[in-house]
Amino acid sequence: MDKQEIISHVSTLLQEIPTSLEIVKDDSKREQRFHYLATHMVEKAIEKDALIISENKRGIAILFRTSSKDKNFWKDLKTDIKLALKVTGVTKGLKALKVQKYVKAQRPKEGEYLYCWFWGILSDSRGSDDSKTAYEMKNKFYALSKATQLPIYAETRIRRISIAYQRYGFELFNEWDHPSGDKMYFLRYFPPPMEK
């Protein structure tokens, strides 16, 4: 695994996501800010053993195992946001914190779960008949969910991504009018029980 290549891919993908486009400060250092954010995310994913990469290295996901009681995870998230101030600037950082409060409230109040913090597929591996990147990654998610018997939670502000999640077996359980004016879709997947 070439960490720098993965960081570069994540940086590219972040520039397509409404939330990161909103929070990353728009100035002459914008490209560096995306790279900084991507580096931070990938390093955190490696540290928490949460990085999932497709065989062709064109699909990347970060799937954390966590719970509402996992104070370290949420404390780390606050640290992430502090670090992200290098990316966002103070005003955008505070706005992001407000949104995060609502987003976190949609997740389970009890028990462990898997949280999909990030999932992206580079444009050259999307939708073509010969590329199975999305299916391969979905299968990795589901195998982890089944092996741990933990549900997966995710959210997106991109409607077509929400539809793709649902096509893969996720349930849409909430839609929210995001402060930006678009919708945010909250999804979850429950694994089938283990065979005895």
CB distance 153 to 113 below 8 Å: yes
**pLDDT of amino acid 124:** 83
CA gap 132, 93 in Å, rounded: 36
Q: Is the pTM of this model over 0.85?
A: no
Q: In degrees to the nearest 10, what's the CA dihedral of 132, 175, 75, 88?
A: 80
CA gap 112, 105 in Å, rounded: 15
pLDDT in tens, the chain (196 residues): 689 999 999 999 989 887 777 777 778 888 888 898 899 889 989 999 999 999 988 899 999 998 877 666 555 666 666 665 666 665 666 666 677 778 888 888 889 999 998 998 888 887 654 458 888 888 999 999 999 999 999 999 889 889 989 998 999 999 999 877 889 999 999 999 877 6
**pLDDT of amino acid 94:** 61
**pLDDT of amino acid 9:** 93
Domain boundaries, the chain: 3-189
Sign of CA dihedral 93, 42, 21, 120: negative
Question: What does each C-alpha distance from 100 to 74, 105, 106 come to in angstroms?
Answer: 11, 8, 10
3-189 architecture in CATH?
3-Layer(aba) Sandwich (3.40)
**pLDDT of amino acid 129:** 45
